[in-house]
Structure 1
Amino acid sequence: MDEGPDGALNGRAQIGGIRSSFAPWEDPAAKPLVRFEGVSRAFGDTAAVRSVDLSIYEGEFFALLGPSGCGKTTLMRLLAGFESPDAGRILLEGQDISGSPPHQRPIHMMFQAYALFPHLSVAGNIAFGLKRQGVPRTEIGPRVEEMLSLMKLEGLGGRRPDQLSGGQRQRVALARALAPRPRILLLDEPMAALDRKLREETQFELMAVQQSLGMTFMIVTHDQDEAMVVADRIAIMRAGEIVQIGRPAEIYETPADRYVAGFVGDVNLFEGRAEIDPAGIRIVSAEGSFVAEGVATPGQTAWLAVRPEKIAVHAEPPPPGENCLAGKIVDYGYLGDWTTYLVEVETGRTLRAARANATRSVDRPLGCDDPVWLTFAPSSAVILTR
């Protein structure tokens, strides 16, 4: 891994092939490393976690994603042993650890605030957990050096935390958590304090470190982009429950319901009545009649979900065809790689469309009040029934 700005690691190692073929959850014979069975936890009258069933596999980078208060941090703290379940079991390699204290679990947690000891050097911080674990002194030094090398912190072992950049402090906290070689590393919003560029670099760094160690990581985040980048699988949580688990692409392209569709990325939803059509399912809505691929019962209320980047924006009327709306641009935002347009259609509703800036200029730039036509293919839309 090469070192980039601010000492960040450009951890874009050759992990793509490994990640794309990694799918133990699809093997009926595979046994999970961690298993939550009907786990619930309440604080007073508030249910933080409700009857959660969840399996996490050896070597997996697993993400818990959801808004504040959905129960994702509580679920992580239950696995770490900082909370005890009111009901259900937590199994590690088939053994119930629900009643085990944190220090007896081969699980370490990296906190959002890093919690580095200001009076200890970088090396001292990394060695702290090893000393508490009773690792022989002859092994501590080599282990610390191994972590310094892994995290590209060579030459910084004698510095104190206040002499480091934000990215370097983050890597010291990660090195300290990894040094005792836990079976599972829990990451609680680990990149929340980093600026956007460093956060994006660190996401790939985490992936590379996890792959090089072959360790199981679980990350809690409310940042959907972060979860989509780092995770092998994502669990979307709402009100203490898991509403969908899947690979990032599965979550994004085939959301289970309107909540998931709206939480992960931007989406346009058309509510209407389902009808059978030779080309698929037709949704008759206030905005128009649209054909999509999916399953719905004739006469059933359904929603058509279309991502902004799946919608083509035309400055001139396109050839006649399915799934076309006319409107005018009421606002737009240039984001460098994309331009997002807010388009008001005939019903007065505003839709969101995105156009890739594939070249440095377009034939005729689109601006406010320009008439446009929006089109999308039936295969680009998803039919939702809840």
Structure 2
Amino acid sequence: MEIVWKLITWKLKIKKNMFFPKQKNVKLKILKTRRGNVRLPAFMPIATRGAVKNLTPEELKNLGAEIILSNTYHLFQKPGLDVFKKIKGLHNFMKWSGPILTDSGGYQVFSLSHKRKITEKGVKFSSEIDGKEIFLTPEKVIDIQLAIGSDIIMVLDECPPYPCSRKYAEKSLDLTLKWAERSKKHFNLKTIHYKLKTKPLLFGIVQGSTYPDLRKKSAEKLIKIGFDGYAVGGVSVGEPREEKIKIIKLCAQILPKNKPIYVMGYGRPDEIVEAVKFGADMFDCVIPTREARHGRIYILNEKRRLKIKNLNSKNFYKTLQITNNKYRLDAKPLDKNCQCYTCQNYSRAYIHHLFKTKEPLGQRLATIHNLHFYLYLMKQLQK
């Protein structure tokens, strides 16, 4: 009987480590989720409300996207959980078969500074849609993400503003850590009957503003609680670049290398390259899609083609504003060395024309190119 029990225990230990390397110092190369593998480092195109602006899920897949990000707060507001329960989750709703990470919505809720009230129980705020009062707790946020069908669930956290006093940062961090503990307990309770291969992952979020000792405290406490991955939050709320780099570098040194490190809302191509060098694995940012909609195009610098050795400089890329009149007669593609659909088929002059005449196709073609640029960059970094 004792031998049988030891065998069961041994099998459980093996199962527990199926998704991650056993050695904490072994860097994770592939993130395994219930809906497929994600090669790291990875960039997640943003599908805030269940759609990446101007693109279909099929186009995203063809561009090489392996995972996307959606927002719990916005999806909870509209279309609402009744829709996801009826249609069996966001994947079926939007017809995306790959993994989805859902942001907890904490950043959006806490940006409503004059409309929300925070207590240890949760956060109370008024809906931007109909003005109704909504009360979110760490437990409810987990339930919402499970109903959405998220493959990577983020805990509810408070993202402190920049700048903020040490006193505020300490109080905010204590609340975030309490919420993280409650989130983990509730997640375990709700997923106790899930088979390992069908269980979503749960990520904790490191906060602490720009105070190194608070960041260290946050990371160490989250490791003790135990999560499938760790996010670095609060690095896209107005901090100077030097502060962001310090925070990311510090957190990457403390957090286990055999778990994914996700830097939230970050960043420009050169910032991503720098963060990867420190040990970061996952990124999301509105930059490639938002700037595409305004005609700002990311291209490789002619003198520094995209090879690993050239990524040591932030000068490996540049941007062009396709709405400028100098492109009106330019017959070249956006980037002559780019293999994306846009560059293989259309000229700068045509895309300039589309933007000038406000044809939606212009935004679509620019979005295809910018996302291809970001996703191709990640492929080079994966090498």
Q: Shorter-chain TM-score: which interval?
A: 0.3 to 0.5
Q: TM-score, structure 1 length as denominator?
A: 0.33
TM-score of the superposition, structure 2-length normalised?
0.33
- Structure in which a larger fraction of residues adopt helix: 2
**Rg comparison, structure with higher value:** 1
